[in-house]
């Protein structure tokens, strides 16, 4: 129960951070250069609102570490998916004060409910068992290298001027990275603080790259495009890795496996519903979303488009 409460508190803190960071990143100019994300981060670190979001993320990370130290990855990581619903609620509460921002409609609330139902179904059927506190080094290292490989591929693809589905590629890579970060975080909290080993360096590396990819994704499209992918991929990657890395097991038996599969499918269905709704909202978006603004753009017109992205 302690791990569950800590995980839910962590999800709330991360949801708060996500809403604040998305609104800051969506309004920030991307900047030019060979690595657009570097210019974006340089602007974001000078914004008090974005820094406040980072502070909330630090709180969420601390609670996440405590949850992982008290419970299994298979239990804690799916609970982090509740951040999707919490972020939608928090975003709606914030946007109610802005008449120029479109609030979530019934279809989006329905999709969020499907995600919540899928999460509940999976957790009830999972009943995880087994596992060790200290990770097996080679499977964990393979997960870390895989996360860096996916991040590199997404960054190279998204840096191209004609990249399609930039927001989704970046969000997917960030979700994979956050899932691996959860695995490494459990390993770090199980080790003594000194001497510092490679897992801490891996945690900082994978986590830092994932944060940058997430901000780039926020800048490239609406929150509803990026957050569902990150929210679902993070626990799925962590669950898939928890077996070979920590020896954790889901409840056996055909009935349990069927219920677990139903829960995962419900999560996926919720993501599809949210993504389709976002696509219908954004049919009028420019094809250059996520690229540096044209020189002829004024700051006021750029802010107007940013508000449209946030509203969607």
How many domains does one find in the chain? 1
Angle, helices 223-246/137-159, rounded to nearest 10 degrees: 160
Enclosing domain of residue 132: 2-288+303-311
Helical ranges in 221-253 per DSSP H? 223-246
- CA-nearest of 237, 242, 8 to 120 is 8
The phi and psi torsions of 272 (rounded to 5 degrees) equal: -60, -45
Q: With respect to residue 174, please indicate whether it lies within any of the assigned structural domains.
A: yes
Q: With respect to residue 109, please indicate whether it lies within any of the assigned structural domains.
A: yes
Question: How does pLDDT run along the chain (312 residues), one tens digit per residue?
Answer: 788 899 989 988 988 887 787 777 766 665 555 455 666 677 777 788 888 888 998 999 899 999 998 888 988 888 887 776 777 777 677 666 656 556 667 777 787 788 778 878 888 888 888 888 889 999 999 999 999 999 999 999 888 777 778 888 999 999 999 999 999 999 998 887 666 688 999 999 999 999 899 888 877 877 667 877 887 788 889 989 999 999 998 888 899 889 988 988 887 787 677 666 655 655 444 433 333 333 333 333 333 333 333 333
Q: With respect to residue 228, please indicate whether it lies within any of the assigned structural domains.
A: yes
Q: With respect to residue 155, please indicate whether it lies within any of the assigned structural domains.
A: yes
Q: With respect to residue 159, please indicate whether it lies within any of the assigned structural domains.
A: yes
In contact, 74 and 250? CB cutoff 8 Å? yes
Cis preceding linkage at 195, omega within 30: yes
Q: With respect to residue 293, please indicate whether it lies within any of the assigned structural domains.
A: no
Q: What is the pTM of this model?
A: 0.71
SS3 286: coil
**Which two structure tokens, joined as six digits, stand for 256?**
């349990």
Q: With respect to residue 297, please indicate whether it lies within any of the assigned structural domains.
A: no
């Amino acid at each position: 129960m302690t791990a569950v409460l800590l995980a839910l508190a962590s999800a709330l803190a991360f949801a708060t951070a996500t809403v604040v960071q998305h609104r800051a990143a969506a309004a920030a100019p991307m900047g030019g250069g060979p690595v657009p994300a570097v210019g974006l981060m340089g602007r974001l670190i000078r914004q008090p609102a974005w820094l406040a979001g980072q502070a909330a993320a630090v709180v969420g990370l601390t609670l996440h570490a405590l949850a992982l130290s008290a419970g299994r990855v298979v239990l804690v990581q799916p609970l982090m998916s509740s951040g999707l619903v919490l972020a939608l609620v928090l975003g709606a509460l914030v946007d109610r004060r802005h008449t120029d921002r479109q609030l979530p409609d019934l279809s989006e609330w329905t999709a969020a409910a499907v995600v919540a139902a899928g999460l509940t179904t999976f957790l009830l059927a999972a009943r995880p068992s087994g596992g060790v506190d200290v990770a097996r080094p080679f499977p964990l290292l393979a997960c870390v290298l895989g996360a860096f490989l996916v991040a590199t591929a997404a960054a190279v693809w998204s840096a191209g001027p004609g990249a399609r589905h930039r927001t989704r590629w970046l969000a997917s890579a960030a979700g994979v990275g956050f899932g691996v970060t959860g695995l490494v975080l459990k390993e770090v909290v199980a080790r003594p603080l000194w001497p510092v080993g490679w897992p801490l360096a891996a945690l900082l590396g994978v986590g830092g790259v994932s944060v940058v990819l997430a901000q780039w994704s926020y800048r490239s499209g609406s929150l509803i495009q990026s957050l569902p992918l990150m929210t679902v991929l993070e626990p799925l990657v962590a669950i898939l890795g928890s077996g070979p890395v920590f020896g954790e097991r889901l409840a056996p038996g055909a009935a349990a496996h069927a219920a677990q599969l139903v829960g995962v499918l419900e999560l996926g269905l919720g993501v599809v519903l949210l993504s389709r709704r976002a696509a219908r909202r954004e049919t009028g978006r420019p094809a250059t979303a996520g690229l540096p603004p044209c020189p002829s753009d004024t700051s006021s017109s750029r802010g107007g488009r940013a508000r449209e992205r946030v509203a969607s």
